[in-house]
Amino acid sequence: MSPSLTEVQEEWQSLELEYQKLQETHKKYLQKLDEISKLQSSCSSSIARHRKRLKEVSRQVNKCTKGSSVDDAKTLADIKEKVKTQENAFSEMDAFLPKKNGLYLNLVLGNVNVTLLSKQSKFAYKDEYEKFKLYLTVILLLFSVICFFFVSYRSMDAIFNFLLVWYYCTLTIRESILITNGSRIKGWWVFHHYISAFLSGVMLTWPDGILYQTFRNQFLAYSFYQNFVQCLQYYYQSGCLYRLRALGERHNMDLTVEGFQSWMWKGLTFLLPFLFFGHFWQLFNSLSLFRMAQLPDCKEWQVRMCGLCFLILFMGNFFTTLAVVRHKMKSRNQKRKSM
Ligand code: COA
């Protein structure tokens, strides 16, 4: 049965009414966007101005400290402490303001704003980054098992190494975006992914031959182990993320919430032996490759280059992990003393 003209007219009128409301809401939305962008530029320029003045005050405080009386020194130390607190507050504010991309992001993405403007979207992006790492890790783990046990073709190895290059390049882009959004990822972990991408690229160009075949199984076994450890790392990192989110605080809360601290230490104590074993495997790979490079029939430059990359990875990973643990222990001890 076809609808009558009145029914059609009624439906059209209701649609028109809804359309008008929608237009008004959208107009308001555009106005707010305009307000937001004005607030953003005003905040950014105020912060820049304030930072300059803080620098000037710090300089003056340092000058005054020399030869000051005990009382004056106390006042100056107080000002110094307050300057530090304000500087930290500005770093937190910065995480919610648009900023210019660094050279790498500019080269890869162009001049696009990658600052996420709410805590929820920052969490969601970090969560997605961890999940992305987990999915790719599982795929790479299965790939290394297949190459190790079932398929021994150079072309299959090339696909595996190409996947690794793509994976590490993607990680560097995602990590740069995370850093822009206030993540405290240490520079080394990002640099570690640049080197890993380069290493996989070199492995990709290594021609098939006796030396390649000698190292192949060791490399595949190492890849399997590294991806296994990465899965463990995922459970630790995402556990930290969810607990911090549940507590509603991040960054400066590490020192304040006892429950989180004890969970983190349990996770870390479980993870560290696996991590250190992986680091020493990297050293072992490096030494094996350097020994191979000494052989008279070693003509491939890839042998030395891969050996060097593994050595750099070992040193960076090992010493950065030690520094992270040392820093965490120091913070824990300071907290215990202050209680
Ligand atoms: N890759 C990427 N991000 C990392 C990272 C890594 N290896 N290690 C730490 N981060 C991130 C954290 O997620 C956190 O991010 P957020 O500020 O957005 O929340 C930030 O860096 C600060 O983390 P931090 O508190 O210093 O360390 P942690 O407790 O999260 O992790 C370790 C500590 C030691 C478990 C971790 O650094 C690690 O796994 N390192 C070893 C990596 C390695 O050697 N891999 C090779 C294995 S063979």
Q: Over the stretch 278-319, which tens digit does the pLDDT of each residue have? A: 999 999 999 999 999 999 989 999 999 999 999 999 999 999
Contact status, residue 192 vs residue 309, Cβ threshold 8 Å: no
- Where does the pLDDT of residue 167 fall: very low under 50, low under 70, confident under 90, or very high at 90 and above? very high
Per-residue pLDDT at 56: 93
Smallest CA-to-CA distance from 313 within 279, 266, 274 is with 279
**Spatial contact of 43 and 93, defined as CB atoms under 8 Å apart:** yes
The closest residue, in CA terms, to atom 40 on ligand 1 is 321
pLDDT at 256: 56
pLDDT over 80 at 247, yes or no: no
More confident residue, 207 or 258: 207
**In which band, very low, low, confident or very high, does the pLDDT at 257 lie, cut at 50, 70 and 90?**
low
What band does 332 get if pLDDT is binned at 50, 70 and 90? confident
Distance CA 57, CA 60 (A): 5
In this predicted structure, the answer to whether residue 253 has a pLDDT above a threshold of 50 is no
Average pLDDT in the chain: 91
Whether 195 is in the pocket of ligand 1, judged by its Cβ within 6 Å, is: no
Q: Which atom of ligand 1 is nearest to the CA of 271?
A: 35
> How many angstroms separate the CA atoms of 218 and 315, rounded?
20
The predicted pLDDT at position 182 comes to 86
Pocket test for ligand 1, best of 185, 263, 322 (most atoms within 8 A of CB): 185
The CA dihedral of 70, 74, 76, 81, to the nearest 10 degrees, is: 150
Q: With 50 as the cut, is the pLDDT of residue 57 above it?
A: yes
Q: Which amino acid would we find at residue 233? A: Q
Nearest CA to ligand 1 atom 32: 321
Neighbours of 50 (CB within 10 A): 13
Closest CA to 329 of 236, 243, 255: 255
